[in-house]
Amino acid sequence: MGGVVETFLPLLLLLLGGVDPLPGGVSTGGPSSLHTLHYFNTAIWERGWQMPQLTSLMYVDDQLLGRYNRATDQCMPQSSWIEEISHDDNNFWARNTGWDFGNHIVRDLMILKNPFNQSRGIHTLQVFSGCELNGDDPTGGFVKYGYNGRDFLSLDLATFTWIAMNAEAKPIKRKWDAERDQGKVWGHFLKGACVDGLRTYLHYGKEALLRIDPPDGRVAHKAESDGLETLICRLHGFYPKEIDVTWRKDGEVWHQDTFHGGVVPNSDGTYHTWISIKVDSKERDHFRCHVEHDGLPEPLNLAWEEPASASKVGLLVGVVLGIMAALVLVWAGVTFYIRKPKEDSYQEARSRSGRTLRIPPPPSPLYAEGKRAAMQPAQ
**Above 50 in pLDDT, residue 306?**
yes
**What value does the mean pLDDT take over residues 57-73?**
80
**Above 80 in pLDDT, residue 8?**
no
Of the given ranges (12-21, 95-104, 126-135, 226-235), which has the lowest mean pLDDT?
12-21
**What value does the mean pLDDT take over residues 208-214?**
89
- Per-residue confidence at 18, pLDDT binned at 50, 70, 90? very low
What lies within 8 Å, CB to CB, of 289 at 6+ separation is 217, 219, 231, 233, 245, 246, 247, 248, 275, 300, 301, 302, 303
Instruction: Give the count of beta carbons closer than 10 Å to the beta carbon of residue 86.
Output: 14
Instruction: Give the count of beta carbons closer than 10 Å to the beta carbon of residue 165.
Output: 18
367, 373 contact by CB (below 8 A): no
**Above 60 in pLDDT, residue 337?**
no
Of the given ranges (78-87, 152-161, 286-295, 347-356), which has the lowest mean pLDDT?
347-356
Question: What whole-number percentage of the chain has pLDDT above 90?
Answer: 31
Query: In 3D, which of 10, 36, 24 has the Cα closest to residue 275?
Result: 24
Distance separating alpha carbons of residues 268 and 44, to the nearest angstrom? 31
**Above 90 in pLDDT, residue 343?**
no
Query: In 3D, which of 65, 71, 76 has the Cα closest to residue 106?
Result: 71
pLDDT tens track for 218-251:
999 898 878 899 999 999 999 988 899 999 999 9
243, 27 contact by CB (below 8 A): yes
What pLDDT, on the 0 to 100 scale, is given for residue 268? 86
Of the given ranges (47-51, 177-181, 279-283), which has the lowest mean pLDDT?
47-51
Q: Which CATH superfamily is domain 33-209 in?
A: MHC class I-like antigen recognition-like (3.30.500.10)
**Above 80 in pLDDT, residue 14?**
no
307 by Cβ neighbours in 10 Å (0-12 / 13-18 / 19+) ranks as: exposed
What lies within 8 Å, CB to CB, of 122 at 6+ separation is 1, 2, 3, 44, 45, 46
- What separation in angstroms does the CA of 184 have from each of 28, 63, 156, 239? 32, 28, 10, 36
Mean pLDDT of the chain: 76
Query: In 3D, which of 75, 80, 82 has the Cα closest to residue 56?
Result: 75
**Above 50 in pLDDT, residue 9?**
no
**Above 70 in pLDDT, residue 26?**
no
Residue 104: enclosing H or E segment and its boundaries?
helix 101-113
Distance separating alpha carbons of residues 199 and 197, to the nearest angstrom? 5
- Per-residue confidence at 185, pLDDT binned at 50, 70, 90? confident
What pLDDT, on the 0 to 100 scale, is given for residue 209? 86
Within its chain, how far is the Cα of 310 from the centroid? Answer: 35
What pLDDT, on the 0 to 100 scale, is given for residue 250? 93
What pLDDT, on the 0 to 100 scale, is given for residue 62? 81
Distance separating alpha carbons of residues 207 and 155, to the nearest angstrom? 34
Report the residue count for the chain: 379
**Above 90 in pLDDT, residue 297?**
yes
**What value does the mean pLDDT take over residues 53-75?**
80
pLDDT tens track for 258-290:
998 889 989 888 999 999 999 998 999 999 999
- Per-residue confidence at 349, pLDDT binned at 50, 70, 90? very low
**What value does the mean pLDDT take over residues 14-26?**
46
**Above 50 in pLDDT, residue 348?**
no
Quick one: DSSP state of residue 123?
E
Mind giving me the DSSP string for 15-55?
Answer: HHT--S-EES-EE--S-TTEEEEEEEEEEEEETT-SS-EEE
What pLDDT, on the 0 to 100 scale, is given for residue 269? 84
- Per-residue confidence at 344, pLDDT binned at 50, 70, 90? very low
